[in-house]
């Protein structure tokens, strides 16, 4: 499983945008236009009733895990089972977080049924937003700690449904406080916060296949392939794919989704 999103905002911008009063990052990081699993990513979590900006590893490692290898398989938690699944239920009850993002990628199947086109999805106003996430602390045999996280996925809105059958749970800014509050433990009160984000506030467009390689982290990853005056891809006919080698076709067909 593999997933990608964009983290392009600076630390101080995130502190202001998400009203975090504690800064556990201390130094700015380079923008990353192709965030992949196991990277350390910005999160906002509750620390003694204060919002704290912190770096944690993407890929949740439960406290009871024997080692950290399980984290690479736990980059997503399905909203339908997150409250009851053993890997996530404790974190869902007590350790919820915000995962700031500028946008995310999803791969849309082309008409040939074999190749896929990477799509960049963001807010129409280009403002940062927050995925609903969970975090955990894992203690290694040598006494060191690892903080890790996962992002929650659910049913898609109308825009994402034209690309994929799932999407990340994006929180409304008015719900940040409730989501972070460790006193909020009733699943029936929390689940409505994970509803599909309004499609009319989002847009999607095709980008270069360079994003398929996680080592490509540059701004060019989010440059649209269509012209600036063209409508969003969801309203266009997909472009005819270029002929690719057998090896390339296999690689693209195997590109997994962020939101499985």
Active-site residues, by number, are 2, 106
What is the token pair recorded at 254? 């195997």
CA–CA separation, 44 vs 54, rounded Å?
6
Half-sphere exposure of 207 (CA within 13 A, CB side): 25
113: left (phi over 0), alpha (psi -120 to 50) or beta: left
CA–CA separation, 153 vs 166, rounded Å?
7
φ and ψ at 45, to 5 degrees? -135, 170
Residue pair 150/89 in contact by the 8 Å Cβ criterion = no
What is the token pair recorded at 147? 């903080």
250: left (phi over 0), alpha (psi -120 to 50) or beta: alpha
The contacts of residue 151 (CB under 8 Å, 6+ apart) are 58, 75, 76, 77, 99, 131, 132, 133, 168, 169
Greatest alpha-carbon pair distance for the chain in Å reads 57
């Amino acid at each position: 499983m593999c997933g990608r999103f964009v983290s392009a905002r600076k630390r101080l911008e995130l502190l202001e945008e998400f009203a975090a009063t504690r800064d556990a990052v201390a130094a700015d990081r380079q923008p990353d236009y192709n965030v992949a699993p196991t990277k350390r990513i910005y999160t906002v979590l509750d620390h003694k009733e204060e919002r704290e900006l912190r770096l944690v590893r993407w890929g949740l490692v439960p406290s009871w895990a024997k080692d950290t290898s399980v984290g690479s398989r736990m980059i997503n938690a399905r909203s339908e089972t997150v409250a009851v699944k053993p890997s996530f239920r404790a974190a869902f009850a007590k350790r919820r977080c915000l995962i700031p993002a500028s946008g995310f990628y999803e791969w849309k199947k082309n008409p040939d049924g074999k190749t896929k086109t990477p799509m960049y999805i963001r807010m129409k106003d280009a403002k940062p937003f927050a995925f609903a996430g969970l975090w955990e602390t894992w203690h290694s045999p040598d006494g060191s700690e690892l903080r890790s996280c996962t992002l929650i996925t659910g049913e898609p809105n109308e825009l994402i449904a034209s690309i994929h059958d799932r999407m990340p749970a994006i929180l409304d800014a008015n719900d940040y406080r409730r989501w972070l509050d460790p006193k909020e433990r009733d699943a029936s009160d929390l689940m409505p916060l994970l509803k599909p984000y309004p499609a009319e506030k989002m847009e999607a467009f095709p980008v270069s296949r360079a994003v398929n390689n996680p080592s490509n982290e540059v701004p060019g990853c989010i440059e649209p392939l269509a012209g600036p005056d063209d409508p969003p891809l969801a309203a266009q006919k997909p472009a005819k794919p270029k002929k690719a080698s057998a090896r390339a076709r296999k690689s693209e067909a195997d590109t997994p989704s962020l939101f499985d």
